[in-house]
Every structure is written in structure tokens, then in C-alpha cells.
Chains A and B, each alone.
Chain A
Amino acid sequence: GQQVMQIPQYQHVQEGEDFTTYCNSSTTLSNIQWYKQRPGGHPVFLIQLVKSGEVKKQKRLTFQFGEAKKNSSLHITATQTTDVGTYFCAEDNYGQNFVFGPGTRLSVLP
């Protein structure tokens, strides 16, 4: 079945440092979505990537979809304490499966 891997599992950074989380799939994907869940909250949609090699930016967040559509990354520049939370990728296998990765928990030390 579809395997979703996300690394790292945890990341602790000093405020102002950059952060990157990676998502890898065992299958080619139709699209990938990223969600953020604050502590005690619920997952909130951030972005969807559809095209091979696609790069999208949201302020300090940069999302990338791999050329082979089997991996993706989320990069945060100059982290802030408001970035704290768990970042999930969610992989869509052409409507056959929609699977969330295990998430990367980000801690930002002020």
C-alpha cells in the first residue's frame, strides 16, 4: 500500500533559524497537500501542489513538489514562535488513497 514518510519527526530550532521538513512517498502522486496543526488544535490546510516541480510560496513558507511527484518539502525561513506546531503532508494517489504523513513537530525557542 501507499507509504508516507516524513522527516524529521521532531525539530527544535532557535527563533530566526530556518526549518525544513520532507515528505516522501512510495508511489507517484496526483497531488500533495500540507497542513499545520497547532498544539491542542486541529489540522489546517496550508497549500496544495499539483504539478511536477511546482514551487509555491506563502510569505516565509516555501513548498516544493518533486519532479517525479514522489516527494515534497516545506521550508520556513526565519522561524517565529507562531510557527510552532506539527506539519503534515497528505498524499493523494489519484483519488485511490488519501494518506496523512506522521508529521514533523516543530518547536521554536525564543
Chain B
Amino acid sequence: QVTLRESGPALVKPTQTLTLTCTFSGFSLTTSGMCVNWIRQPPGKALEWLARIDWDDDKYYSTSLKTRLTISKDTSKNQVVLTMTNMDPVDTATYYCARTVAGNIHWFDPWGQGTLVTVSS
């Protein structure tokens, strides 16, 4: 069974850097085709894809946020880390991680339960 779980701070201050961790089980990011994505959702608003990291360490970023995002992986811990710099109140959102499979499965399934991050001084 594939599961993912997000963790990180619930509150960050404006201008700070956010670091979120996705810990997963049921698959390995050393397996060909496996990918982990980050998606966010501001309260009451739509979903927004942020970034993806692949088993071969290829990385992809949102066009509008790519200057602020960095995604990385620690295969020994089955973790993917997303950092977002220069946080602003508009970045307040629930942040999800989800799996896709390169070449085959570009829909998100499964998802983690999400972690709410509030940006406020």
C-alpha cells in the first residue's frame, strides 16, 4: 500500500523560508518511473501544482514559482523535501504531496493528508 505524509511548520513568518517533508512508503524513489509531486491549496481556493522530482533526480517546477522552489530527495529515508523561499501571506495554504509515475501515470494518486501552513507575523 502506497502512503504519503507531509510534515513541516504550521506557522512561518513573512520572508522566511518554508521547508516541508514528504515521507512515503510502499514504493521507492530508486525505482524507475517513480515521481513525487507537491501541490498546494489556499483556503477556499483551487489546487496548484508546485514541483516534481523523479527517480533519476530530474526536477520540474511551477512556471510562476520556480525561482522560489527547490525540491530534493533522500532515498535512504524515503523522503522528499520542498523548500520555498521568501514566504508571503498569500502562500498560506494546505500543502500536499502525491505520487505520479513517469511515462504512465501522470494523475495524482495517492495523496498525503496535507499540512496547513499559515504565513503570518
- Co-complex (A, B): no
